[in-house]
Structure 1
Amino acid sequence: MSGVVVDVRGLAPVQRFINRLANPDLRALADSLGAELESQTRRRIAEEKTAPDGSPWAPWSAVHAATRHAGHSLLQGDGDLLDSVTYQVSGTQIRWGSPLVYAGVMREGASQGQFGTTRRGGPIPWGDIPGREFLGLSAENEDDLVGITEDWLQELMP
């Protein structure tokens, strides 16, 4: 029988690369992306004070500003919201945000009295709260996530 003989001993690195492409560790990628999403959101709250689209957050009302001190800033009183921002990876899905009950109000806003009244009859909340979008992706955030994904793909290469 005539034919061609191929020595496959030198193809082991190629086979390992094909195996990594066929069975990539997406959990590692999702964890890296989740950590970046958390970091981006914390930076938005602590430093940027803007929505993902770049629009500035509404300032405090004069009445509310009078109750704040030098260590407070928009969405930061004692740091609870900032400290609560986290992410969870389930399979290849990433969820990020804050588990705090009031995080949704800070993000979406609320009208005076929207949640009823106190025992003394005062409205909850006592005044309108403008929404301050702190979750989401800016174009720069998306670029950062693409960069992380590209780096992850590069790591798969032999």
Structure 2
Amino acid sequence: MIEIEVHTDQAQALLANIVATGRNMTPITRALAGVLADIPERAFAGQADPATGAPWAALSPATVARRGSAQPILQVSGILAGSIHSEHGPDFARASTADVKAATHQFGAKKGQYGTTRRGTPIPWGDIPARRFFGIGPADEAEIEEVALESLLRVLAGRG
């Protein structure tokens, strides 16, 4: 008589880990939130669009004259760069900012787009080019994939 015995304890444990991870992806989303927060940090350091790598538009001559310097773009006070924060939960990871000027810098604005002052001066007083600091480029996609895979493997191995 031939007898075959199959022990499924390890497979069942692995499947239980997969099911538990599917219900609460926090170990993975925590790592991904860190990656997402690094993207704008690199954009500020390199003064370039994180999705395309294109350098940000130079400051206008009027802004340079008012400031006394052309560098660093978007970082005179550090408020915008310092306002970037990350969050994560069981089913999400994100990097964001609550800075009211962020959208203008991310997407740009046309002269007068926000109306006028009491004296009739346009807000903004001139065009502001988009200087994107949020976005995902090919290198970021690869890093996200790598971090997600490593995190998932750690979770499945019981070390997550």
What range is the shorter-chain TM-score in? 0.7 to 0.9
Identity %: 28
Q: How many equivalent residue pairs? A: 154
Shift in Å, 1:130: 0.4
Extract structure 1 runs of 4+ deviating beyond 4 A.
2-5, 69-72
Gapped regions of structure 1 (runs ≥ 5) = none
Indicate whether 1:18 and 2:15 are aligned: yes
5+ long unaligned stretches in structure 2: none
Deviation at 1:119, TM superposition (A): 1.9
TM superposition shift of 1:63: 0.4
Contact 1:71 1:77 in 2 (8 A): no
User: Counterparts of 1:70 and 1:62 in 2: how far apart (Å)?
Assistant: 10
The reply on whether 1:93 has 2:92 as its aligned counterpart is yes
Letter in 2 for 1:49: Q
**What amino acid sits opposite 1:157 in the alignment?**
A
CA distance in 1, matches of 2:99, 2:31: 23
State the Cα distance separating 1:79 from its structure 2 match: 0.5
Asked if structure 2 preserves the Cα contact closer than 8 Å seen for 1:41 and 1:135, the reply is yes
Structure with more contact order per residue of length (Cα contacts < 8 Å, sep ≥ 6): 2
Deviation at 1:134, TM superposition (A): 1.0
Root-mean-square deviation (Å): 2.3
Change in CA separation of 1:91 and 1:154 when aligned onto 2, cut-off 3 Å: closer
- The amino acid across from 1:15 in the alignment is Q
More divergent stretch after superposition (59-68 vs 82-91): 82-91
Q: TM-score, normalised by structure 1?
A: 0.85
Q: How far is the alpha carbon of 1:3 from its aligned partner?
A: 8.7
